[in-house]
Amino acid sequence: MRKRRARKQFAASDPFAGIASNLSRLVEPVLLYLLATDRAHYGYEFMEEAAHFAITDAHIDAAVIYRTLRALEQNGFVISSWAPGASGPARRLYEVTPAGLEHLKRWAVVVDQRGRAMVYFAQLCNQL
């Protein structure tokens, strides 16, 4: 008889726990950064801006953007409000909260560490 395991639940409970899996795309910190630097303010705009970041893959799916923004809001890292579009449908505008900025700072430490480790690893590989 297989025991019913209680699988670890992250995302909503401990927002920083899922860092290993999010690290692959770094969507979360990039969105926070774009918001914090006033480069993007709503979902559709993020799609275009995020593409300029070499840190992420060339294309980030819209679904990932919208769902990540919702997750960030649930964790209190951003707040949204509706605003009329310049031409077209309404936009959901996002703002970073102080907690969101702190979260980005924590991300920065992890990204820096892993980034350095990766550069170092690449160097080791080239010495073969």
Partner DNA sequence: ACTCCATATATGTACTTTGCATATAGTACC
Partner DNA sequence: GGTACTATATGCAAAGTACATATATGGAGT
Q: How far is CA 121 from CA 25, 53, 117, in A?
A: 19, 22, 6
Site for DNA contains 25 (CB under 7 A): yes
Site for DNA contains 57 (CB under 7 A): yes
Site for a copy of itself contains 116 (CB under 8 A): yes
- In the chain, the DSSP E strands lie at 78-83, 91-96
Tokens (6 digits) for 4: 């019913």
Nearer to DNA, 89 or 123 (CB): 89
Site for a copy of itself contains 16 (CB under 8 A): no
Site for a copy of itself contains 57 (CB under 8 A): yes
Q: Are 64 and 24 contacting, i.e. CB atoms less than 8 angstroms apart?
A: no
Site for DNA contains 98 (CB under 7 A): no
Nearer to a copy of itself, 13 or 21 (CB): 21
Span interacting with a copy of itself, options 3-11, 44-52, 61-69, 103-111, rule CB under 8 A: 103-111
Report d(CA 82, CA 70) in Å as an integer: 14
Span interacting with a copy of itself, options 5-13, 16-24, 75-83, 84-92, rule CB under 8 A: 16-24
Q: Residue 18: how many CA atoms within 13 Å on its side-chain side?
A: 19
Give, as one character, the DSSP assignment of residue 24: T
Give, as one character, the DSSP assignment of residue 59: -
Which residues of the shown chain bind DNA in the complex (CB under 7 A)? Answer: 2-3, 5, 7-11, 18, 20-22, 24-25, 27, 42-45, 57, 60-64, 66-67, 69-70, 84-93
